[in-house]
Amino acid sequence: MLIYNVFGRHIGVQRKNERWLVFRADLTERKFSRLYEIVIPDDMTEGEIASWLGDIFHEAATERHPNVERIG
């Protein structure tokens, strides 16, 4: 699973059966909850995901958390 810090929120992304699945990630407890309302286009490459998440969640950006970064 790919893990991203999206403006201070941890999001997991996993490729399964030619589709991208998105999860809320609790790294402390190693729990992942599926987020069905967030869709990543199936033809998107792994390298494009951080930018896509940034576009979706840009309103959550703060001075303390101004970026989207892959952390795992």
Q: What is the pTM of this model?
A: 0.91
- Pick from 67, 52, 47, 53: which is nearest to 24 by CA? 53
pLDDT of residue 16: 96
Domain boundaries, the chain: 2-70
Query: How far is the CA of 71 from the CAs of 11, 18, 32, 53, in angstroms?
Result: 10, 23, 15, 14
Q: What is the pLDDT of residues 20-69, one digit of tens each?
A: 999 999 998 999 999 999 999 999 999 999 999 999 999 999 999 999 99
